[in-house]
Amino acid sequence: MRMLKSGSIEEKLAKLHRLEEKTDRPIVDEFHRRIDMSWIYHDGALEGDVYDAKEIEIALGDDQGTDKALMPMYDEIRNHSAAIDLVRELAGKRRLKITLDLLKQIYLVLEPEEAESRGALRYRKEMPLHRVYFHEISQPNKISYRMRQLVHWVSSNEAKRQTHPVRRASRAHATLLRIYPFPKHNGKLARLLMNLLLLRGGYPPAIIHSTDRQRYYEALRISDEEVSFVVHEALSNSIESALRFFYKLHGIKEPGT
C-alpha cells in the first residue's frame, strides 16, 4: 500500500482532525462504522477467528440469519462490536479514570455470560494449557497485584506527563496481555484498553492487521519496545488510510502525488 510520507504522526493527525471537522457528521459516522468493522475483522483474526465481511454484516444487521450453527460466531461478533461501542462512549467522557472496575466492565461486554453468573467476577485460577499467545503470563496468585499495579501506573501523573500517549497506550496493552487476567478475551481486552487510551488522546484506533499476527506475537515475547513499534506502525497506517479517504472525499490532492 502506498504511504503518505510527509509529516510526523502528530502533523498528520492534526490534518485528519481538520478534515473530519469540515465533513458532514453522517459521513464521519459511517467512516467510523467501517473502521470498527475492520477492527472486528483484524482483531478476530489475531485471535485465530477469521470472519468474512458478509458474516460481520449479518451479525451486526437486523437480519441475523437462521443458521443455529453460526449463532455462537454471530454472538462473538456482536459482543465485540458492543465493547467497541462502549470504548468509544467512554473515550468521549470528560473525566475518566482507568480502574479495575472499568476493565471488568469492558470484559463483561465481551463475555456477558459472566455477568449472569453468581458472585463477583474473578480472575483466572489456572495456567491455561492451550492458548493463542505463547509469551510468559502471570501466575494466578500474582494477577490481582499486577492488575492493581497496571491501573495505578496508567492513571498516574508520572505516566501521563513522562510517557508519550502512544507509548503509554501500547505499554498498558502489552502489560495487560502479559498479566492475562481472565479465562477468555485477554487479547481483545488489551487492545480495547489501548484504543480507549488512544481515542481519549485524539488518535484513531490502532488496528493491528492480521498479516502482522506473527510479528505481533513475537513482539509480545521480546519487549514493550518491540510491541510499541508494531502499535506505532498500526496507528500510522490507520491515520494515513483515513487521510486518503478524506482527501478523496474532498477532492484534495495527496501530498507527494
149 vs 178: CA distance, rounded Å: 13
> Measuring CA to CA, how many Å separate 99 from each of 41, 71, 241?
28, 32, 32
Output the pLDDT for position 69: 81
Q: Which residues of 114-126 are buried (b: 16+ CB within 10 A; e: fewer)?
A: beeeeeebebbee
152 vs 160: CA distance, rounded Å: 11
Q: What is the pLDDT of residues 166-178, one digit of tens each?
A: 999 999 999 999 9
162 vs 168: CA distance, rounded Å: 9
Output the pLDDT for position 65: 61
Output the pLDDT for position 113: 84
Output the pLDDT for position 255: 79
Positions of the chain with pLDDT under 70 = 1-7, 63-66, 115-120, 256-257
Instruction: Look up the pTM and report it.
Output: 0.91
Name the grid cell of 49.
Answer: 477467528
Q: What is the pLDDT of residues 198-211, one digit of tens each?
A: 999 999 999 999 99
Q: What are phi and psi of 43, to 5 degrees?
A: -65, -40
DSSP 119: S
Query: Structural domains in the chain?
Result: 9-114+123-250 (1.10.3290.10)
Question: 9 Cβ partners below 8 Å, 6+ apart?
Answer: 166, 232, 235, 236, 239
Q: Are 176 and 104 in contact (CB under 8 A)?
A: no
191 vs 230: CA distance, rounded Å: 12
Name the grid cell of 51.
Answer: 470472519
